[in-house]
Structure 1
Amino acid sequence: MTTDPIAAPRQPWHAGERLLQASAGMAERMAQIGPKIIRDYMPDQHRDFFAQLPFVVMGAVDEQGDPWAGVLEGLPGFAVSPDPRSLRVSAMPDADDPLRAGLGPDKSIGLLGIELHTRRRNRMNGRVAAATDKGFDVAVAQSFGNCPQYIQSRDFHFSRSPSLRFPSAPHELAGLDDAARALIKASDTFFVASYVDTDEGGRAVDVSHRGGKRGFVRVDGNVLTIPDFSGNRFFNTLGNLAANPRAGLVFIDFERGDVLQVSGQAEVLLDSPEAQGFEGAERLWRVHVRRVVRRPGALALRWTFDAYSPTSLATGQWPKSA
């Protein structure tokens, strides 16, 4: 009598993610839990969560192969899930947004739903199934939740209707100027897009959140050095960068609605002695900025820092940086 072999669970991790997981001694653990937490559909609570958001963060890749991160906004309900395997977004990047070049039928994108005032976040990566001049549908490839670590608590309001767009001529630069460096040095939050081209011939794009104390990103000319603190051990971003060293970052002026988008060459520093200069950092990564887009007043949203939140800097719960 013979029995059919039991198929091993499908592993969601690619080689770059597995490399980082192994370096942290988590390869076996991640191999066990990966198939349980990375789904190819959106659970109902994720579908409900996206439907209440006033903005989502998006990652896309342009014709040059450069990743970009940016923000799409709308009144709650502008992002809805008609069924567990799709998400419909009733918003498009502005004409001056570099995200626009990476959005089209069958293009791979990453989406992050995040509420700064509740510190909840869920990620959804997939492919554009359809697009018009008013929005697009995404076919879900991966859906998973993230913990609230390092999310600074902020309340939001709209300074104008999000349907009123004021795209200006973008300030395109080949590197960081003094104003860009000042915004980055003052930031406690940014978002990062990365991607890999898989062995199966597909592309997987991801966008994620990074946070810390104000000034946690070190700026040296056109080089950004970023501490990597203890997290969920998925290593989606650093795994992507290990396999494909390109990154797109977006910094937001939460009070003015200005957006600073940068893209460049990345490197992961697993054993650098420089990490000792960033309290709480387990490793570092760098971005050598090559392209910069500044978009003043691009967002209708404004955020107010919640200094009395139990997660505020005054509690001392946040890693410090040099």
Structure 2
Amino acid sequence: MSTYTLESQVTLYDRWHSGERKLQELLQVRESVKNHSSIFRPYLTTQMQDFVPGLNYFFIGTLDEQGRPWVSFLTGRKGFMSSPHMRLLEIKTRLEGGAGGERHHKAAAAVQSSTPPDPLFHNLTKGETLSGGQRKWGGVALDFTNRRRNKMNGVLRPDDILRVDEATGELHVLLTVEQTIGNCPKYITIREMDFSEPQDIPEPEARGSTSQTLDENSRRPMFKGLTPEQTAIVDQADCLFIASRFIDESIADQTSGMDCNHRGGNPGFARVNGNQIVFPDYSGNRFFNTLGNIMNDERVGLLFVNFGAGDTLQVTGRARILIGKDAQEAYPHAQRVVQVTIEDSILRLGSLPFRMRTKELSPYNPITPSHQQRGIDKTAVPLAATLSEITVHTNDIRTFRFKTSKSIRYSPGQYAVLDFGAFNTLGYRHMDPDNPQSLNDDYIRTWTISSAPLGLSPSSGDTKLSSPDAWNEASEFALTIKRKPGGAISNLLHDLSLNPKRPFTVPLICTGGSFVLPDPEPSTPPKPSKVTMISGGIGSTPFLSMIRGARQVLTEYPIDIQWILSATFLEDALPEALQELTAPLEGDAGDKNQPTVSISLFLTGRHTPEEAAAVEAKVALISGVKIQFGRVDHKKLLASVPDLEERQVLLCGPEPFMDAVKGHLEVLRIPSQQILTEEFNF
């Protein structure tokens, strides 16, 4: 065992390496952070020494013989990690897959028999070595129950490898600590141990093979692209762990090093794009340790975990940092993006000896852009949208009409993306417990357009309702927006008053989206196109646009619309808009192909008998609207739309509402391909 004294400590003042300095200068934060490298310590503090023994897990990055980083998930009983000295981290454990009973262990062993082992064992004994046979490592000690995180790195000396047995999973090493720092809890999901008996892991053939062809020289899988099973782990992840490295000869006492750290966000924040994984770099302490390493050495390793199933995905590859316009083309609304081209991957099913359940996502997580926004053309010059009219419906619902600097095309049901960045005057702050979302607010907002173009374009040969090119050009559009408590932009708009001398103008980035009226199937004679719309709360706005659009194409073919509208109270259901939509069109009342619209209104808020009677009296004046008090369920759904199985179903609203309705539709055996949903969280 090696021994150390405080005399071996080095001064860390202004010791950023070349990659960190380069990125700090590029992002214009160098002056504000250059003296902060003294916050890194060359030892474990007393608090860190007391912290690590209380953990059941540790995330560590190591290098294979090719110098490629890999991230591993170490587990053990509390106390498997300890710090006998401020410059030492001792790890003693036995790693095995699965949890909870002999049958489960056998199944886990069967699955893992076809899977390459964790590269950790190989890397600790045969990985890249530096002077004196030392091997670099980087780790992060993290407590998911309280978001505490400490980052550390150092070297593994040959005589401190006490036992590394790949066959039995036994691991006993003494890691020399060279650098530590306490990290903020900003994007960490709170989790708790799930002590319920995990389900048995199916036999390997039931879950699909996870093995890949091995290159005997490197003992690593020959990468053939992520499988659907591997991609699914990335898609569900709300965090990842990234290992990076640097080499900098300008630092006399430390020419190389490693880093392992946590990256978090809402589920789906990391995305698979062909042979690449991309994820945004959110606002942090602006030290840019990981990104600085990538600027110096592009080799990285990533770890994704399915905490509920106990599966892990490890990848290694080469990373690029995308900034500004390049970042936004790869990942909408992101100012910085890490793009990793994958070289190798290892999927280990049921490898964790415990399961964890999500308790609370970080309040600092930015909203993950809708999948439909991935195709936004960031190279286009934004149009100008000038506010021209405000219609007040209720205290917290208003319609804002904008005129555009150039004509646009859109299909009813599509959204508009507006840039309110000019109104972001908060400046940089690392954390803000009173308003966490403000720190990552790019002030770009997406709302469904509630107006509709004035009919189909006579010059277009495309008669599909779903195609923007089929509709007339428009020089204005309307957004019906509900005031959101604490919402920076919804409150800004609701507090506006029109001033002709000072017009309110913002860039219109684009219109888009696939949540549109379905195209009718051609038939002779024409058959009605049957549609059921189901909306919750402000999720009604795309349907306002669709119905308004349908009423502009009266002579094309008949459209039969049944709308299930759920709201807390009548004022939340936009009664003025409903009255407009159900009123007959002037001069076209006798047209046999005029769309029919029937609305079943469900009010879920508490109503006294007197209040209910007053609401019923108001609704009785609106043609084609029936009212019920209570929540939608599968029986009420079928009673409202008896021929539901014959209809295309369009669903929009808050996520809990949509999940509930999907459950009702499943009970009624409505095929999933018959259901079109719209995300309404962006």
Contact between 1:217 and 1:227, CA under 8 Å: does it hold in 2? yes
What residue identity is the alignment partner of 2:19?
A: G
Q: 1:170 to 1:31 in 2, by over 3 A?
A: same
Q: For 2:33 and 2:152, how far apart are their aligned partners in 1?
A: 19
Q: For 2:191 and 2:355, how far apart are their aligned partners in 1?
A: 10
Contact between 1:258 and 1:297, CA under 8 Å: does it hold in 2? yes
CA displacement at 1:197 relative to structure 2 = 2.2
CA displacement at 1:282 relative to structure 2 = 2.8
CA displacement at 1:74 relative to structure 2 = 0.7
Query: Partner residue of 2:51?
Result: 49
Query: Partner residue of 1:151?
Result: 188
Q: For 2:153 and 2:136, how far apart are their aligned partners in 1?
A: 8
Q: 1:69 to 1:107 in 2, by over 3 A?
A: same
Larger CA Rg, structure 1 vs 2: 2
Of residues 132-141 and 76-85 in structure 1, the stretch that sits farther from structure 2 once superposed is 132-141
What residue identity is the alignment partner of 1:101?
A: H
Question: Is residue 282 from structure 1 mapped to residue 335 from structure 2 by the alignment?
Answer: yes
Q: For 2:189 and 2:23, how far apart are their aligned partners in 1?
A: 26
Name the SS of the counterpart of 2:309 in structure 1. Answer: coil
What residue identity is the alignment partner of 2:192?
A: D
Contact between 2:327 and 2:334, CA under 8 Å: does it hold in 1? no
**1:320 aligned residue (357, 367, 373):** 367
Query: Partner residue of 2:646?
Result: none
What residue identity is the alignment partner of 2:230?
A: A
Name the SS of the counterpart of 1:81 in structure 2. Answer: strand
Query: Partner residue of 2:283?
Result: 230
CA displacement at 1:9 relative to structure 2 = 6.1
Question: Is residue 193 from structure 1 mapped to residue 195 from structure 2 by the alignment?
Answer: no
Name the SS of the counterpart of 2:121 in structure 1. Answer: helix
Contact between 1:230 and 1:282, CA under 8 Å: does it hold in 2? no
Q: 1:245 to 1:9 in 2, by over 3 A?
A: closer
Contact between 2:241 and 2:303, CA under 8 Å: does it hold in 1? yes
Q: For 2:94 and 2:290, how far apart are their aligned partners in 1?
A: 24
**Cα-Cα RMSD:** 2.4
**1:120 aligned residue (144, 148, 165):** 148
What residue identity is the alignment partner of 1:240?
A: N
Name the SS of the counterpart of 1:230 in structure 2. Answer: coil
The one of the two structures with greater contact order (alpha-carbon pairs below 8 A, sep at least 6) is 1
Q: For 2:264 and 2:87, how far apart are their aligned partners in 1?
A: 30
Contact between 2:18 and 2:248, CA under 8 Å: does it hold in 1? no
CA displacement at 1:228 relative to structure 2 = 0.5
CA displacement at 1:112 relative to structure 2 = 0.5
Q: For 2:331 and 2:148, how far apart are their aligned partners in 1?
A: 26
**1:21 aligned residue (19, 24, 31):** 24
Q: 1:234 to 1:125 in 2, by over 3 A?
A: same
Q: 1:282 to 1:274 in 2, by over 3 A?
A: closer
**1:139 aligned residue (176, 181, 197):** 176
Q: Give deviations 1:227-254, integer Å, cap 9, x for gaps.
A: 0100011111111111111111011110
CA displacement at 1:277 relative to structure 2 = 7.4
Q: For 2:366 and 2:287, how far apart are their aligned partners in 1?
A: 20
Contact between 1:250 and 1:260, CA under 8 Å: does it hold in 2? yes
Question: Is residue 83 from structure 1 mapped to residue 85 from structure 2 by the alignment?
Answer: yes
CA displacement at 1:140 relative to structure 2 = 0.9
CA displacement at 1:276 relative to structure 2 = 7.1
Q: For 1:159 and 1:80, how far apart are their aligned partners in 2?
A: 28
Query: Partner residue of 2:313?
Result: 260
Q: For 1:13 and 1:120, how far apart are their aligned partners in 2?
A: 24
**Which protein is richer in strand relative to its size?**
1
Contact between 2:140 and 2:261, CA under 8 Å: does it hold in 1? yes
CA displacement at 1:27 relative to structure 2 = 1.2
**1:101 aligned residue (104, 119, 122):** 122
**Which protein is richer in helix relative to its size?**
2
5 Å matches for 1:181-220? 181-199=231-249, 200=252, 202-220=255-273
CA displacement at 1:320 relative to structure 2 = 1.9
Name the SS of the counterpart of 2:73 in structure 1. Answer: strand
Query: Partner residue of 1:30?
Result: 33
Name the SS of the counterpart of 2:262 in structure 1. Answer: strand
Q: For 2:338 and 2:50, how far apart are their aligned partners in 1?
A: 34
State, as a whole percentage, how many aligned pairs show the same letter.
Answer: 35
Name the SS of the counterpart of 2:185 in structure 1. Answer: coil
CA displacement at 1:217 relative to structure 2 = 1.0
Q: Give deviations 1:126-185, integer Å, cap 9, x for gaps.
A: 01131123310111110111000110111025689xxxxxxx996235121111111111
CA displacement at 1:281 relative to structure 2 = 3.2
Contact between 2:147 and 2:189, CA under 8 Å: does it hold in 1? yes
CA displacement at 1:49 relative to structure 2 = 1.0
Q: Give deviations 1:110-136, integer Å, cap 9, x for gaps.
A: 111001110010011001131123310
Of residues 48-57 and 130-139 in structure 1, the stretch that sits farther from structure 2 once superposed is 130-139
In structure 2, stretches of 5+ residues that fail to align are 1-10, 97-115, 126-132, 165-170, 198-203, 213-220, 370-682
Query: Partner residue of 1:68?
Result: 70
Contact between 2:14 and 2:36, CA under 8 Å: does it hold in 1? no
Count of matched residue pairs:
302
Which 4+ runs in 1 deviate beyond 6 A? Answer: 92-95
Name the SS of the counterpart of 2:319 in structure 1. Answer: strand
Of residues 287-296 and 11-20 in structure 1, the stretch that sits farther from structure 2 once superposed is 11-20
Q: For 1:120 and 1:69, how far apart are their aligned partners in 2?
A: 20
5 Å matches for 1:158-177? 171-172=211-212, 174=223, 175-177=225-227
